[in-house]
Amino acid sequence: MTREELLKGKPEALESFQFEGRPEEAVGYGSGHINDTFLVRCTASDGTEKKYILQRMNREIFTEPVELMENIMNVTSFLRKKITEKGGDPERETLNAVLAKDGKPYFVDSIGEYWRVYIFIEGAESYDAVEKPEDFYESAVAFGNFQSLLSDYPAETLHETIKGFHDTKARFCTFKKAVEDDIMGRAASVQEEIAFVLEREDVACALGDMLAAGELPLRVTHNDTKLNNIMMDSKTGKGICVIDLDTVMPGLAVNDFGDSIRFGASTAAEDEKDLSKVSCDMELFELYTKGFMEGCKGSLTQKEREMLPMGAKVMTFECGMRFLTDYLQGDTYFKIHREGQNLDRCRTQFKLVKDMEEKWDTMQDIVRRI
């Protein structure tokens, strides 16, 4: 179905949630690529305006939307309780879902599409890119605080919304099969990149093996720790709320840390062709580490703290491997806007991995010092 066909149920959805007041308009909102998102404006009985976020959930990516919403409702309920106990404002510091008229946290339209609604967080905004170092630091504090608040949540009770999302060892096996099958005939031209991956099987296995051995604990993890998944207070600039909880599931805290470093401490765009511009900025690494540790408030184990640099390396390696796998398979997963973009993306990630390897002692010293 086309996007237009998938959105035909929007008027049904607008009639099916317990809005305060009647919806006056619903306009496209935000820069997300997965779900379809709308800002809904309602006029309450007292004449005041109420805003909400309406989303059509992408069932191609999230195949079990009921389980996904069960995760979100359980986690946000837990967060509200913790935030209230600490004297915070649960209306602004976590997502608040609006129930449908049948009491469920989602609505299924006449063509089988799933919709949900959140209360709009007033006086806050998100940023798609790091505009100043303080933003990166504030996102680190917010994601660290997210870890702290959920440190005693039973992670094993959550559903996996995307199976094996950060199972790096399994993704290594998928990569090897993509090389072997070579369905696009591209393997011969990327032997250097293939060798880079195959030489680092130990990196692919490192964290998974530690989890299996009980050396790292299973945590509630966000799994998409980009800057734009933090709402920043418009007046103070402080990170107040972690959003986009679709990928919240059992995982490793060091992976959440590592994905932020991969994305935010790189000195170049993800598809930069000039690899001389690509490096891992140690000042930004230190800044994020400080913020993350501050936010975690001592909730990480000693081994988790030691493994923070490894989290950065593994997440960067995994992402590069996924880009290369997709290139070998014909660019079917990651959207491309030009020929060879996934190959360029993989090369930037591998350059970051090499740079981290060269700065390994520095990264470990920073973590120890903090």
pLDDT tens column, 146-166: 999 999 999 999 999 998 889
CA–CA dist 209, 89 (Å, integer): 39
Question: Which residues are bridge partners to 92 per DSSP?
Answer: none
pLDDT score of 104: 98
pLDDT score of 194: 98
E strand map for the chain:
22-28, 36-43, 49-56, 97-98, 107-108, 114-119, 124-125, 219-221, 230-233, 239-242, 249-251
pLDDT score of 1: 77
Nearest residue to 72 (alpha-carbon basis) of 259, 257, 253, 247: 247
Of all residues in the chain, the percent with pLDDT exceeding 90 is 89
Nearest residue to 143 (alpha-carbon basis) of 219, 30, 29: 219
Nearest residue to 62 (alpha-carbon basis) of 115, 13, 110: 115
pLDDT score of 34: 83
Most confident of 71-75, 160-164, 222-226: 71-75
pLDDT score of 58: 93
- The single residue listed with the structure tokens 């997965």 is 34
- The single residue listed with the structure tokens 């989303």 is 55
pLDDT at residue 211 above 90?
yes
CA–CA dist 204, 322 (Å, integer): 12
Alpha helices in 153-273 (DSSP H): 168-181, 191-198, 201-212, 253-264
Tell me the mean pLDDT in the region 180-206: 98
DSSP 10: H
Q: Please give the CATH number for the structural domain made up of 133-369.
A: 3.90.1200.10
Nearest residue to 214 (alpha-carbon basis) of 152, 315, 303, 300: 303
How confident is residue 145, by pLDDT bands cut at 50, 70 and 90? very high
> 265 near 137, Cβ under 8 Å?
no
Tell me the mean pLDDT in the region 104-129: 95
CATH 3.30.200.20 in the chain is located at 3-121
pLDDT at residue 130 above 80?
no
> 328 near 251, Cβ under 8 Å?
no
Burial track 272-302 (b if 16+ CB lie within 10 A, e otherwise): beebeebbbbbebbbbbbbbbbebbeebbee
**C-alpha atoms less than 13 angstroms from C-alpha of 131 in its C-beta half-sphere:** 6
> 14 near 77, Cβ under 8 Å?
no
Q: pLDDT by residue (tens digit) across 274-314?
A: 999 999 999 999 999 999 999 999 999 999 999 999 999 99
Q: pLDDT by residue (tens digit) across 304-360?
A: 999 999 999 999 999 999 999 999 999 998 889 999 999 999 999 999 999 999 999
pLDDT score of 335: 84
> 241 near 89, Cβ under 8 Å?
no
- Structural class in CATH, domain 3-121: alpha beta
DSSP 57: -
pLDDT score of 3: 82
CA–CA dist 8, 6 (Å, integer): 6
CA–CA dist 232, 367 (Å, integer): 26
CATH 3.90.1200.10 in the chain is located at 133-369
Lowest mean pLDDT among 28-37, 134-143, 277-286: 28-37
Strands in 230-233's sheet, in edge-to-edge order, are 124-125, 230-233, 239-242
pLDDT score of 45: 83
> What predicted TM-score, i.e. pTM, was given to this entire model?
0.93
pLDDT at residue 113 above 90?
yes
Lowest mean pLDDT among 25-34, 38-47, 220-229, 331-340: 25-34
Task: Determine the 3-state secondary structure of 312 from DSSP.
Answer: helix
